[in-house]
Structure 1
Amino acid sequence: MTQPLDPTVQEFVAALNDNDQDRFYAILTEDATMSDDGVERNLTLWTDSEIFGSNGRMNVETVGDGGTELVADYTNTRWGSMRTAWRFTVRNGKISRFETGQA
């Protein structure tokens, strides 16, 4: 059975799917970091390209590790649709790191 998403992760997914940049960045810590397929990325440049500049959408399929890991069908206008894995580090109600890559 799939677990519920951590509330902070749920807000990340909702802000992403609503294409709400202000809400999205508000859920991240000021020093948040991220990686894509194991490569460290500039979070702002990556999200501008892969999420907000290309109409990113996430359809969560499964959730694990207390709601901080998920597998989703991720779609954007740049790459189309792909199965992706996401892992989040939540600190004081905000996301301090997320890692994503093909699942």
Structure 2
Amino acid sequence: MTIAPAKLSDPVVGALVAAVNAHDKDAFLALLTGDATMSDDGSDRDLQQWIDKEIFDSGGHMDVQTESDGGRRLVANFRNDTWGEMRTAWRFVIAPGGGKISRFETGQA
């Protein structure tokens, strides 16, 4: 059973998942701080290059299976046209003051 983005405990994370699934890059970027960072499988990556390659240029989609840490940790089935489907873990850091994500980390779960 998947958890709909609107049902996730953290509304910012839910909005980010919804932006991924809607292929809405502008909405996705609007949820990040200007200096946001990310890592994939433990290695820091260039955020813009990574989101283009792994999400927006390849039809990325997240089906959230579980959440923890107030909705800031997810396990999701992530799929794209490059890699197919894989079980992934996601961790989000919300900037002080809330409202925007300053870092996210993903990798195989």
Q: CA deviation at 1:17?
A: 0.4
Which of 15, 23, 38 is equivalent to 1:11? 15
Counterpart of 1:63 in structure 2 is 67
Counterpart of 2:24 in structure 1 is 20
Separation in structure 1 between the aligned mates of residue 9 and residue 78 of structure 2, nearest angstrom: 16
| Deviations 1:63-85 (CA, angstroms, capped at 9, x unpaired) | 00111000000000000000000
Q: Which amino acid aligns with 1:93?
A: G
Q: Which segments of 5 or more consecutive residues in structure 2 lack a partner in the other structure?
A: none
Q: Which amino acid aligns with 1:74?
A: F
| Deviations 1:42-94 (CA, angstroms, capped at 9, x unpaired) | 00000000000100000000000111000000000000000000000011210
TM-align CA RMSD:
1.3
Counterpart of 1:30 in structure 2 is 34
TM-score (norm 2): 0.90
Counterpart of 1:49 in structure 2 is 53
TM-score (norm 1): 0.96
Q: Which segments of 5 or more consecutive residues in structure 1 lack a partner in the other structure?
A: none
Which of 93, 103, 106 is equivalent to 1:97? 103
Q: Which amino acid aligns with 1:30?
A: G
Q: How many percent identity over aligned positions?
A: 59
Q: CA deviation at 1:5?
A: 2.9
In the alignment of these two chains, the number of paired residues is: 102
Q: Which amino acid aligns with 1:35?
A: S
Q: Which amino acid aligns with 1:100?
A: T
